[in-house]
Each structure stands twice: as C-alpha cells, then as structure tokens.
Amino acid sequence: MKVIARSYLSPTLVLLAMDWPDGADRKDFLGFAIRRTPPFRSGDAPVTIDGKKWNWLPNRLGFDGPAPDGHDLPTERAPIQKFMWWDARIDEDQPGSKFTYVIAPVVGKPDQFGLVDADSASIDVELPLHVVDGIGSYFNRAVVSSQAFAKKVEQLRKASGGKLSDEDI
C-alpha cells in the first residue's frame, strides 16, 4: 500500500504528516526519505531525478547518531523515524511558491537499506501568502531560529578555541 501523506501549510513552513500502513507488518521498516522540488537555494547541491532537480529534506540524526560537525544528513541516508516532519527551508520571499514532495518508505537494516519507490507518495503544495482577504497568517519560527543561533554559536566557539568575545555574540 502506498504512503498516505498530508500537508499543513503556513507561508514559510510545510508540516508533512505521513503513514505507511504496510510498515506495521514489517520488521525492517526504518522510516521515510523525503525529497522536494524545486531544490533549496542554499545547502546541499540538488540531485536530478526524472529530469527534475530535487533536494532531500535534512535530518540531523542518522543511525550512528548526529552527523559530524553538526551537519545535516539527507533523508535518503538518514531516514526520518517519525510520522511528521517539517520543511523549514523556505525563504521569506517564497510564500505562494509551489513545491512537490515525494515521500518514500525506507526498509532494510541500518547498515544496508533502500527506498520502496513503488509505495512512495507525491504531494503538491502551494504556500499561502501571508495575507489573504485581509487576514494575516504568521507562523512563529522562534524554535528554528534559536536552533540555528545555537548552531552558529557552537561554530564560533570551535573557531575561537572555546573563547568567545562579546563581539562574537
């Protein structure tokens, strides 16, 4: 059976909820790999699949723990082990943009696995504008911002040998 997917939209975030009913009967179901087109403007270089440029949504946790140096891992190598995931790599000037997500189940063992492309689901979304019919919609990205800030501070700390000045912060 195919993946069941639904999206929940804001002008700058897409929350994806997904399920793979066949996964309940499989002991080798590891999670989901998710790719998006058009690709991100920054970050990992896009891949080309079926003549379209895609990026894999990132995951910070792989089967061997966090990625080295705090880098993100593509979900084709570090599948999402939850039934919800959000795409926060949407730039502020992209409300109203259209994206396609392909969500594929991942099966196997942590050291050898693959995608079940036959059961993947494709979902098209169009981001809402911030203001529609005079009503504004703004999503609080404070959590994402604080995580990004913490990552930057850690990079500065490493670069300075553990000694941060007031100017660094």
How far apart CA 115 and CA 79 sit, in angstroms, is 10
CA distance 139 to 127: 12
Size of the chain in residues: 169
CA dist 77 and 89 (Å) reads 19
pTM, rounded to two decimals: 0.75
Peptide bond into 68 cis (omega under 30): no
Composition of the chain by helix, strand, coil, percent to 5: 15, 40, 45
Task: Tell me the C-alpha distance between 138 and 56, whole Å.
Answer: 26
**Distance separating alpha carbons of residues 161 and 117, to the nearest angstrom:** 46
pLDDT score at 109? 94
Domain 4-138 class, CATH top level: mainly beta
10-residue mean pLDDT profile of the chain (169 residues): values are 92 90 95 88 71 86 84 90 88 76 95 93 90 74 61 74 66
C-beta atoms surrounding 165 within 10 Å: 8
Handedness of CA 127, 129, 133, 138 (dihedral sign): positive
Residues with Cβ < 8 Å from 71, sequence gap 6 or more? Answer: none
